[in-house]
Structure 1
Amino acid sequence: MVLLNGSLALAAGVVLYVLARGLYVLIHRDNVKWVKEGLQIVFVIYLLMVVSVTLFPLALWIEPDLKALKYAVNLVPLISIFHDISQIGIAYGGDSVFMMKLILRNVGGNVLMFVPLGILAPMLWPEFRRLKPILLLGVLMSIGIEFLQFFELLVSSEMGRTVDIDDVICNTAGAILGYILYRLITALANKYRIKSLQQLFIGG
């Protein structure tokens, strides 16, 4: 078995992007918008972090167990969340606090992971400054991650990967929450004429 580390993939991705984008900036330096360049670097690092968390470590050369697929795939909305809630006071020797922390970490982590998407996408691209495009982006990106995780399950079922519709729901909720935060910040920036925030969130 060979494991590809997520941190290594993250570092390699950042280096490759900086080199490629740096070359572009050198060639087109007269037309560079530095605020937008900075935001793009942040966005790329964010995407690479999501990939490193959701798809790594990547296992190679492991014999797949196709029978385990039925236990690792959930297509019924909210059932896994409600199941975990029902286990409070039962699982882990009746340790309710630990189980609640586990639920908060799983659900909250999936929500928070997509909050930056709902903030950064409209900062970079005007077409994402409406709710519907952000909603669609969040759904498609989350489904894409789940599809890749399903592919990993087909290749190797020993890494504890799961494919869960609840992850898509939580991820999408996170993107919407991020978009709401974006709208609140831009509204405050416009109301109080905070030029630095206006440039960053609207004119970047």
Structure 2
Amino acid sequence: AFMTLEIPVAFFAGIIALIFWIIISCVTKQIRSKKILISLFILYMTVVVSITIFPIIIDSDLMPINDSSIILVPFSTITNLLENATLWTIVLQIIGNIIMTIPYGIFIPFMVKKKRWYNYLVYTLIFPLAIELTQLIICVSTNSFYRTVDIDDVILNSIGIIIGYGIYKILPKFVKEYFGNNRTAEKL
């Protein structure tokens, strides 16, 4: 049986999550900066899920697991792309994986309560691993490896998060204070 859950499903779920957040934030009387920050984060996560998870293809005959379905050797995909792929594919796969997670690296310092380097490290590793693990679970549960689960994606996503954190560090002080968690000063 062939079935596909398309990208609009992710956008619909994101809109529902955003509506719930707006209702909850109004009922609980959240400060405006937190409403804006969480709303933007929900929109960002909707886009990430749309890119990394959807479409979900359910077809056991489409693409069964094989040697190239799960890649655990660091830098093997990056090396292969740089040696064999077109410039567009390199940009899409390598640069795209980095750019996709830059906003996450900017959002996290605003949302983490205890601003310690190890908290950022945990969030930097959890997000890309969660994406790849979700892809793996979906592929295994649908018996359709239409996506590759790749350690290089985790590496590239982590680089994007680190770049995002660097951008956060150079944001003007008034932006950090406005969106900052409990208006506390940074301790990093």
Verify same fold: TM over 0.5: yes
Residue 105 of structure 2 corresponds to which residue in structure 1? 118
Residue 132 of structure 2 corresponds to which residue in structure 1? 146
Deviation at 1:201, TM superposition (A): 4.9
Measured in 1, the distance between the counterparts of 2:127 and 2:178 equals 27
Measured in 1, the distance between the counterparts of 2:23 and 2:88 equals 46
Measured in 2, the distance between the counterparts of 1:86 and 1:196 equals 42
Task: Between 42-51 and 8-17, report the one with greater CA deviation.
Answer: 8-17
Deviation at 1:83, TM superposition (A): 1.5
SS at match of 1:76: coil
Measured in 2, the distance between the counterparts of 1:56 and 1:65 equals 16
SS at match of 2:144: coil
Structure 2 gaps of 5+ residues are: none
Measured in 2, the distance between the counterparts of 1:66 and 1:106 equals 20
Residue 22 of structure 1 corresponds to which residue in structure 2? 22
Change (3 A) 1:40 1:67: closer
SS at match of 2:4: strand
| 1:86 correspondence with 2:83 | yes
- Count of matched residue positions in the alignment of Structure 1 and Structure 2: 181
**Where does 1:30-179 land on structure 2 (aligned, <5 Å)?**
32-60=30-58, 62-63=59-60, 68-87=65-84, 99-127=86-114, 129-154=115-140, 155-157=142-144, 160-179=146-165
Measured in 1, the distance between the counterparts of 2:61 and 2:132 equals 18
Measured in 1, the distance between the counterparts of 2:164 and 2:51 equals 19
Question: Is 2:105–2:165's contact at 8 Å kept on the other side of the alignment?
Answer: yes
Change (3 A) 1:197 1:71: closer
Question: Is 1:134–1:175's contact at 8 Å kept on the other side of the alignment?
Answer: no
Change (3 A) 1:86 1:24: closer
Structure 1 gaps of 5+ residues are: 89-98
Measured in 2, the distance between the counterparts of 1:130 and 1:184 equals 17
Deviation at 1:67, TM superposition (A): 5.4
| 1:2 correspondence with 2:3 | yes
1:198 to 168, 177, 184: 177
Measured in 2, the distance between the counterparts of 1:55 and 1:108 equals 18
Measured in 2, the distance between the counterparts of 1:57 and 1:201 equals 35
RMSD (CA atoms): 2.3
Measured in 1, the distance between the counterparts of 2:25 and 2:136 equals 38
Deviation at 1:23, TM superposition (A): 3.1
Measured in 1, the distance between the counterparts of 2:23 and 2:84 equals 54
Measured in 2, the distance between the counterparts of 1:35 and 1:67 equals 47
Q: Which has the larger radius of gyration?
A: 1
Change (3 A) 1:151 1:42: same
Question: Is 1:107–1:170's contact at 8 Å kept on the other side of the alignment?
Answer: yes
Residue 91 of structure 1 corresponds to which residue in structure 2? none
Deviation at 1:152, TM superposition (A): 2.5
Deviation at 1:119, TM superposition (A): 0.4
Structure 2 letter corresponding to 1:35: S
Measured in 2, the distance between the counterparts of 1:86 and 1:121 equals 34
Measured in 1, the distance between the counterparts of 2:88 and 2:110 equals 33
Structure showing the higher helix proportion among its residues: 1
